[in-house]
Amino acid sequence: MVALDGTNLTEDLVIATGGWNPAFARVVLIVADEDVALVLVDGNGDGAELELEYWDKGADGWVGGQSNGFGSLGWATGSMNRWDAGSMVCAVGGGAPGETVRIGYDGQVCECAVNQSGLWGFVRKVEHMHFKHQLPELLDEDEIIAEARSKSEASMEIIRDRLRETLQSRRPPTG
């Protein structure tokens, strides 16, 4: 067995160190910025359920961190999800393979290529770990879709705030 180079975040490293079955799992997206990355894994190889993984690069190389379900490959066609993950801001969307999507972030325009799986991704490392960072914008998004996405994000922010309040109220008193 050949030892994997942990300094490069590759599909082989994700499958081998993530505990995925190499006979079925496939990596459908890897996007990195400096020492943070976002990876989408299709664990069964059928596109029905993707797993989102956050990766960090330390002195010993790339290490997988938190992960959660992300839905199917089909959700992404022509849409975008964006969020603040604390140490990074992220956006993932879909389109026609080979197409280029323009993202605006922090006064810059970034071009994201749609890969062979029909996905594009954007990630930027942020300096301060809090959950109120500026989010990337899809520059060529039509107004109706942008308004619907904005309403959905506002609803999700209300839910996240309620969860934070609930979790804070369950913490044992300190001191």
Q: Which residues contact 21 (CB under 8 A, 6 or more apart)?
A: 43
If you average pLDDT over residues 131-145, what whole number do you get? Answer: 71
In whole angstroms, give the CA distance from residue 169 to residue 137. 34
Residue 10 above 70 pLDDT?
yes
Quick one: pLDDT at residue 4?
63
Host H or E run for residue 11: helix 11-17
pLDDT tier at 149 (50, 70, 90 boundaries)?
low
Strand partners, 105: 108
Quick one: pLDDT at residue 72?
87
In whole angstroms, give the CA distance from residue 136 to residue 109. 10
pLDDT tier at 122 (50, 70, 90 boundaries)?
very high
Quick one: pLDDT at residue 110?
93
pLDDT tier at 90 (50, 70, 90 boundaries)?
very high
Q: Where are the beta strands (DSSP E) in 49-149?
A: 50-58, 61-71, 80-84, 88-94, 100-105, 108-113, 119-125, 137-138
